[in-house]
Amino acid sequence: MSEPSPTAEPSDEVLLVAYQAGDDRAFEELVRRHQRTVRAVVRRYAERPDDVLDLAQKAFLRALTAARRPRWMRLGASAPFRAILLRIAANLGRNHARDGRRWARAPVEAVDGAGHAVAPRGTAGLEREEQRARLRRAVVELPRRQREVLTLRIDAELPFADIARALSISENAAKVHYHHATRRLAALLAGREEAP
């Protein structure tokens, strides 16, 4: 007798149908399956770990709320859950970065009047933190499409085919945007301006 074949994991679309029927385990599985990628996408735009978690949670809630709408069901296989989830995550991250530039953040000491001194940190740690901040600012300065492709390629580690599906562009266009993004990012970090 042969052994039974291992059961394959259900697709995102099967889990979505189960979630729409009220199966909370399907929701948990979708989150477990995609949370690392979603966090990687929003991490590019958020400065604080708490913001990353908040943005990731919002992305899942918006995607799963949208999945309950009849319009989503009409989209069918042409709009895979992962692609829409990543698009929502990138949009939330971009909006978060834009809003962060609009509103200057004051240190907690200035708000609560406590005036507690911040503990000193090592030079290497401060330099790494400054490099990360420079990189984050430079990425936010990239043109929108270049920023989205770069984020999905580097942070989410997606192949160009998946990036193309997530952004509704051709795979070749995704590669071109990535190439221009890396060149422009290198120029911005080197302190010189390059034409978009």
Tell me the pLDDT tens digit for each residue of 21-47: 888 898 899 999 999 999 988 888 887
When computed from its CA atoms, the radius of gyration of the chain, rounded to whole angstroms, is: 20
Alpha-carbon distance 78 to 111, whole Å? 49
Alpha-carbon distance 93 to 44, whole Å? 8
Question: If pLDDT is split at 50, 70 and 90, which confidence band does 120 have?
Answer: low
Q: How many residues does the chain have?
A: 196
Greatest Cα pair distance, the chain, in angstroms, is 75
Of 92 and 105, the structure prediction assigns the larger pLDDT to 92
pLDDT at position 170 over 90: yes
The number of C-alpha atoms within 13 Å of 180 and in the hemisphere containing its C-beta is 17
Count other C-beta atoms under 10 Å from residue 90's C-beta.
26
Question: If pLDDT is split at 50, 70 and 90, which confidence band does 59 have?
Answer: very high
Alpha-carbon distance 25 to 51, whole Å? 26
Residue in 149, 151, 153 with CA at minimum distance from that of residue 167 = 149
Q: Calculate what percentage of the chain has a pLDDT beyond 90.
A: 15
The pLDDT value given to residue 176: 94
Element (H, E) at 146: helix 144-150
Tokens of residue 107, six digits: 């240190």
In the numeric block, the tokens 């992305």 are attached to 59
In the numeric block, the tokens 């034409």 are attached to 195
Q: What domains does the chain contain, in order, with CATH numbers?
A: 11-102 (1.10.1740.10), 135-196 (1.10.10.10)
Alpha-carbon distance 169 to 163, whole Å? 8
Q: Model confidence over 64-94: pLDDT tens digits?
A: 887 776 665 444 545 678 888 888 898 898 8
Contact between 115 and 106 under an 8 Å Cβ cutoff? The reply is no
Backbone angles phi, psi at 81, to 5 degrees: -55, -45
Q: Which amino acid is at 101?
A: R
Contact between 52 and 46 under an 8 Å Cβ cutoff? The reply is yes
The answer to whether the predicted template modeling score (pTM) of the entire model surpasses 0.85 is no
The pLDDT value given to residue 38: 92
Contact between 89 and 58 under an 8 Å Cβ cutoff? The reply is no
Count other C-beta atoms under 10 Å from residue 53's C-beta.
14
Q: Which of the 8 DSSP states describes residue 65? A: H
